Structure 1
Amino acid sequence: MSNPDNHTEEAGPPTAGRLLIPAGLKPSAVRASHIDAPIRRLSGATMGTGWSLSYAAPDSVQNSAVVAALEDTFANVIQQMSNWEPASDLSRFNRTQGWHDLKPDFFKVLSRALEIATLTDGAYDPTLGAAVDKLGFGPSPLSVYPDESRGPVSTAQLWRHIELDPINQRAFQPGGAAVDLSSIAKGYAVDLCAQALRGLAIPSFLMEIGGEFVGQGVKPDGHPWWVQLELSDIAPAPSEPPHTDIALVNLALATSGDFIRRRDGVSHLLDGRTGEPVTNGLSGVAVMHASCIDADGWATALFALGERDGLAMADAQGLAAIFSTRTPEGAHSSLSASAQKMLG
């Protein structure tokens, strides 16, 4: 989770903490987003969580039009990719073995999830829906469990048996693969919301769904949209800065962690290599990326990999990532090479 823009619009950069600023930020990109208009704030509920939007736009942009565009986006993602809705495209895919014609958004998100699964050798596994549900962190099994009578090809790593047909936008359900895209679809929804806001000619905004963000441009006072990270349930170690703030200027941010959703000490996040809850000592991971779909999916993947392997993967993929580990002294953070380049 993260706290959006805890600082007043008149205030300068946060102090007494660690600052991360996008590397290679061009002044022309900042100037293009500047607008002399008050900041407006909207919020609501979607996808089992909350959403919020802070933005500055010409007077001709009506709040009602903004809300309508966002709600259309939410409905589209839920209809295609929610495993909490029995009638969604994803739930139908999970129930029925064979080839399925998929809508473009569903196909894109499933494809990216499988790519990340391949790159992490299954540490990130988008077919753990049944396992998550059995731990009590998912929806009713009646809505998402595949038809067991069709005989699943395996009980683990079923993502390897899902086939994609990019030419015809189809995917093959091998039977038994309970696809769960909650670790990546929310980030994609944020990307779609940002796209809709740009379509309304809104030059400056901070869009968030359940702690996943996209920041566009700068605020009317010329300062970035600052977001303060929350990656642990314990205080920072004495050697650590008291907080980390990220300037979201044309940048996405997503986090993954178990310091909020733990039950009796059991994490809701699973390691796809074992199918068991993660127990690697991490409390949270944050990823900054040009797109929120990648920030979201990779945050979960790096959390499953753990600090050592996760840092190696982040560096190999050029990801700006921050890892928070629980230690006896307090929360300790590690930054990937790309994240270190953002230090202000």
Structure 2
Amino acid sequence: MRIAVPTNLTPESARPRGGRRVRLAGPTMGVTWALDALAPEGLDDGRIRAAVQSACDGVVGQMSDWEPESDLSQFNRAEAGTWVPAPADLIAVVDASLRLAGLSGGAFDPTIGALTGLWGFGPSGAVDGPPDAGALDAAPAGWRSVLLDPDGQRIFQPGGLQLDLSGIAKGFGVDKASAALTAMGVRDHLIEIGGELRGEGVKGSGEPWFVDVERPPGGEALTPLRIALHGLSVATSGDWRRSFETGGRRYSHTIDPRTRAPAQGVAAVTVIHPSCMWADALCTALTVLGEEAGAFAEAYDVAALVVRREGEGFHEAVTPALRAMLA
């Protein structure tokens, strides 16, 4: 067992806390959110639940391509050559997506909605096999064509562009829910949305929030990794979670924008970061980068575990930033 500990965990920050233990859950983004927290005695479960659900519902209302009336869906339907109104959170997430697109050489691209749909991982539903090459080539995509006007709160639709924020919005939702909890006095909490987690403060005993990283099926020989979340977030992507197989080949939901096809080779990526939004997005980028993932993570000081498929087995790489956290 390997244990990753944040460098800012001090005896003072890990002192035992008081408060009422709360465990709550609810639906969001096609998955669930789950909360484990210490709440002030005068704060009832209903207010806590409402705060988390409101944060999640806000993200869905702005960024879901599965909701026809979301702000993102309205942008995707907009006429060519128009500026489309967009709320501040959507602008911020698209802006972060474009920044990562530039840093990663397009390995992360928020404009792959049409490609995601063709491969059967979008709102249009599953497909029986790989799409026609001509349809893939014709699908509008390209992060450089997105124009943002943050002051005017609008995004330019060049024509047919389909934004897909599934590789970053869930992590942003975790951050929003965590911020809402902290603002209402729930300083010590572990919040999860569909496997993306953030831990603030500590448990009542003074221990940080420990979480175990999921290993890919068949990867039982890989050394387990446990992470102490204290002011940190963790996201894990896996090629087995949403995929289909045909012709003896697995096609994962993570699309490589450069090849317009599902990424190949990487079985799982785990990223630890102060921001769950960035942990989520970096997981996607590193999955797509494949053999280049280690160099990218080292260059940008990303704490990550990258598990690649090698024949019938696996090979894992621990980045220097993660290695520095291992106790």
Q: 1:311 aligns with which of 261, 279, 294?
A: 294
In the alignment, the residues of structure 2 paired with residue 190 and residue 207 of structure 1 have an alpha-carbon distance, to the nearest angstrom, of 7
The one of 241, 251, 257 equivalent to 1:266 is: 251
Q: Which of the numbers 138, 146, 149 marks the counterpart of 1:165?
A: 149
Q: TM-score, normalised by structure 2?
A: 0.90
Q: Any conservation in 2 of the 1:283–1:324 contact (CA below 8 Å)?
A: yes
2:281 counterpart residue number: 297
| Matching residue of 1:76 | 58
CA RMSD of aligned residues (A): 1.8
Candidates 172, 178, 183, aligned match of 1:188: 172
- Cα pair distance change 1:335/1:317, threshold 3 Å: same
Displacement after TM superposition at 1:326 (Å): 2.1
Unaligned runs of 5+ in 2: 126-137
- The superposition leaves residues 115-151 of structure 1 with CA deviations (integer Å, 9 ceiling, x where unpaired) of 111111111111111111122211038xxxxxxxxxx
Q: Which residue number corresponds to residue 226 of structure 1?
A: 210
1:29 Cα deviation after fit: 3.4
Mapped partners of 2:189, 2:33: distance in 1:
13
How do 1:193-204 and structure 2 match up within 5 A? Answer: 193-204=177-188
What corresponds to 1:63 in structure 2? 45
What is the identity, as a one-letter code, of the residue corresponding to 1:55? Answer: A
Q: Please tell me the residue identity of whatever aligns with 2:244.
A: R
- Displacement of 1:158 in angstroms is 2.0
What secondary structure, in the 3-state scheme, does the structure 2 residue paired with 1:29 have? coil
TM-score normalised over the length of structure 1: 0.86
What whole-Å deviation, never above 9, does each CA across 1:41-87 have from its counterpart, x for those lacking one? 11121110011100012211111001111111122111111100111
Distance in 2 of aligned mates of 1:38 and 1:168: 44
Residues paired across the two proteins, number: 310
Query: What is the DSSP-based 3-state SS (H/G/I as helix, E as strand, rest coil) of the residue aligned with 2:14?
Result: helix
For residue 61 of structure 1, give the secondary structure of its aligned residue in structure 2: coil
Give the distance between the partners of 1:110 and 1:199, measured in 2 at CA. 25
Cα displacement (A) at 1:204 = 0.9
Alignment of 1:56-205 (within 5 A): 56-96=38-78, 97=80, 98-140=82-124, 155=139, 157-205=141-189
Query: What is the CA–CA distance in structure 2 between the aligned matches of 1:293 and 1:337, rounded to whole Å?
Result: 21
Post-superposition shift, 1:328? 4.1
Provide the rounded CA distance (Å) in 2 between the counterparts of 1:321 and 1:198. 27
Bigger relative contact order (CA 8 A; separation at least 6): 1
How many Å separate the matches in 2 of 1:36 and 1:183? 36
**Residue 156 (structure 1) shift:** 5.3
